[in-house]
């Protein structure tokens, strides 16, 4: 009872102070600004970037015929360097058939099932990461450009609410670390601003490729929360919000992180 009373009294003050300040646009930094010079050099040199192996796999997959339709991505879209330029930078985008936003992985799988008549790739499968990395790399250097689409607004708002929600036994929100304490040290790790502009990434800690959703799940386990399953609407909503938060920042896919 006392607790409830306290919430009533503190209510307005809490609302004001719990809403973390958004990072001013000109103070945003890519995750690459928080990694060592050696790791950054690895990302920026295609001959040293370990994610390029997966990206090159994606390039061959682009031209492989698949599914009942026996069509390749290239059969419909043509050469990716032309047709896919700037595409990943616009995802997640609203999908009319699904009446919901889909992220790039979701769109790849929609093409698989709807156009190629093939089975969807499993989340975090080597194939899905490879195609995502290859398509993503066609937007390298272009600004993250979330669609100006009113149908995304409610999803983005839900993503922002999730971003600010304290979760897990350790009771942290994304915002408390990545808006309020970026640049500080959490143990040995420099806390980045958590922008999505380099995914999928090769993470040295994973010794492999992973999606943004894998990273979400890592953070959720870190705060001892029950992670959402891959493909959960909550993750898509978070991705919609993060794309807006990173609008205008250059795409770096495929990134390398410690």
Partner 1 sequence: MDRRCVAALLTLACCAPAAAASLQPYEITGDAIVAPLGGTRGDPAKGRAIVVDRQRGLCLLCHTGPFPEQRFQGDIAPSLAGAGSRLSEGQLRLRMVDSTRINPDSVMPSYYRTDHLTRVAPAQRDKPILEAQDIENVVAFLVTLRDQPSLKETR
User: What does the angle CA 210 – CA 243 – CA 196 come to, to the nearest 5 degrees?
Assistant: 30
**Residue 56 vs 167, nearer CB to partner 1:** 167
- Phi/psi at 27 (5° precision): -105, 10
- In this structure, what token pair is assigned to residue 57? 């796999």
Phi-psi category of 257—alpha, beta or left, where left has phi over 0 and alpha has psi -120 to 50?
beta
In order of 63, 155, 247, the CA distances from 85 in angstroms are 17, 25, 17
Only one of the segments 42-50, 58-66, 141-149, 219-227 lies at the binding site for partner 1 (rule: CB under 8 A); that segment is 219-227
**Residue 26 vs 226, nearer CB to partner 1:** 226
CA-CA distance, 66 to 128, in Å (whole number)?
Answer: 14
Q: Is residue 180 part of the contact set for partner 1 (CB under 8 A)? A: yes
Q: Is residue 39 part of the contact set for partner 1 (CB under 8 A)? A: no
**Residue 18 vs 157, nearer CB to partner 1:** 18
Dihedral, CA atoms, 41, 25, 140, 106, nearest 10 degrees?
120
- Identified binder of partner 1 from the candidate list 73, 174, 201, 225, rule CB under 8 A: 225
User: Could you give the string, one character per residue 98-137, with x where binding to partner 1 holds by CB under 8 A and - elsewhere?
Assistant: ----------------------------------------
Residues 184-203 that bind partner 1 (CB under 8 A): 184-188, 191
Q: Is 14 in the active site?
A: no
Q: Is residue 205 part of the contact set for partner 1 (CB under 8 A)? A: no
* Pairing mode of beta strands 201-203, 255-257: parallel
Residues that bind partner 1 (CB under 8 A): 10, 14, 17-18, 165-172, 176, 180-181, 184-188, 191, 220-221, 224-227
The catalytic site residues sit at 219
């Amino acid at each position: 009872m006392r607790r409830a009373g306290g919430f009533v009294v503190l209510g307005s003050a809490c609302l004001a102070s719990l809403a973390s300040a958004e990072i001013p646009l000109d103070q945003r930094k890519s995750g690459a600004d928080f990694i060592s010079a050696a790791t950054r050099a690895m990302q920026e040199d295609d001959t040293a970037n370990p994610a390029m192996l997966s990206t090159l796999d994606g390039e061959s997959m682009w031209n492989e015929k698949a599914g009942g339709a026996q069509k390749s991505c290239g059969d419909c879209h043509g050469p990716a360097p032309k047709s896919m330029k700037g595409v990943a930078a616009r995802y997640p985008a609203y999908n009319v058939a699904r009446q919901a936003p889909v992220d790039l992985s979701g769109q790849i799988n929609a093409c698989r099932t709807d156009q190629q008549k093939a089975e969807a790739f499993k989340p975090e499968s080597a194939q899905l990461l490879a195609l995502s990395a290859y398509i993503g790399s066609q937007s390298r250097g272009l600004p993250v450009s979330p669609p100006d689409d009113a149908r995304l607004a409610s999803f983005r708002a839900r993503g922002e609410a999730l971003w600010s929600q304290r979760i897990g036994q350790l009771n942290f929100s994304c915002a408390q670390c990545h808006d309020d304490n970026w640049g500080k040290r959490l143990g040995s790790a420099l806390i980045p601003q958590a922008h999505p502009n380099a995914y999928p990434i090769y993470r040295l800690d994973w010794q492999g490729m992973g999606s943004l959703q894998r990273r979400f799940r890592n953070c959720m386990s870190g705060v001892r929360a029950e992670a959402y399953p891959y493909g959960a609407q909550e993750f898509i909503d978070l991705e919609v919000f993060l794309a807006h938060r990173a609008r205008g920042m250059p795409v770096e896919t495929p990134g390398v992180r410690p």
